[in-house]
Structure 1
Amino acid sequence: MDLEFSGDVWFWRGPAPHHFVWVPEDDAAQLDDVAAAVTYGWGMIPVTVRLGGSTWTTSLWPKDGGYIVPLKAAVRRKENVGIGDRVAIGLVIDV
């Protein structure tokens, strides 16, 4: 399954602060359809992410009935991405 969308970068100041992009609701609904087949626990979905010229593996985090994409600090620096920036994201989920 391949998904492409745009979203705004936001920062979570929790015990482990991190930058994220929300998966849009329509795409999150598609992910819900395959989640049981691909999750490895806690609803985490392993994915390959594309942002600009960078590609990396991570997992989508379930949050508030949707999913969020964590953005690595090294990727944010390389792609010059900050809080509030609108970015194009590509996801590949092996189903």
Structure 2
Amino acid sequence: MSEDGHSIHFEAEVIRFDAPGGWHAVFLPPDAAAEARFFGRANGLGAIAVQVLIGTTRVRTSLFPDKRRDSFLLPLKADLRRCENIKVGSRIPVHLTLNA
């Protein structure tokens, strides 16, 4: 976590769900997920609004809780994947910042 307490940095592998739409995402590693639990106010679905920096691309998105893995899921939209040439199986560095 950064010195200001409002950022989380981690690296994770990109996965693709076989569900309709073929979502691409990363799961936060255990230490990052533990920090994210105290990261911000969740909405009614448990999602936490964040800004994500991957490579040189910054986007606003949300973390979604995953109770089965005791983690959070970070979806990766197609525009972000195209801009940063992200493929399934890629390990990517992620910098999360709490949305103000």
Question: What TM-score results when the alignment is normalised by the length of structure 2?
Answer: 0.85
The aligned residue for residue 9 of structure 2 is 4
* Distance of 2:57 and 2:65 partners within structure 1: 23
Higher share in helix: 1
Q: Does 1:89 align with 2:94?
A: yes
Q: Does 1:72 align with 2:77?
A: yes
Identity between Structure 1 and Structure 2 (%): 32
* Distance of 1:68 and 1:78 partners within structure 2: 20
How far did residue 34 of structure 1 move?
A: 4.0
Gaps of 5+ in 2: 1-5
How far did residue 42 of structure 1 move?
A: 1.3
Gaps of 5+ in 1: none
Higher share in strand: 1
Q: Does 1:59 align with 2:62?
A: yes
Residue 34 to residue 12, structure 1, CA distance change in 2 (3 Å): same
How far did residue 33 of structure 1 move?
A: 2.7
2:49 to 25, 34, 46: 46
Highest RCO, 1 vs 2 (Cα 8 Å, sep ≥ 6): 1
The aligned residue for residue 30 of structure 1 is 35
* Distance of 1:34 and 1:77 partners within structure 2: 28
Q: Residue 39 of structure 2 contacts residue 98 of structure 2 at CA under 8 Å; is this kept in 1?
A: no
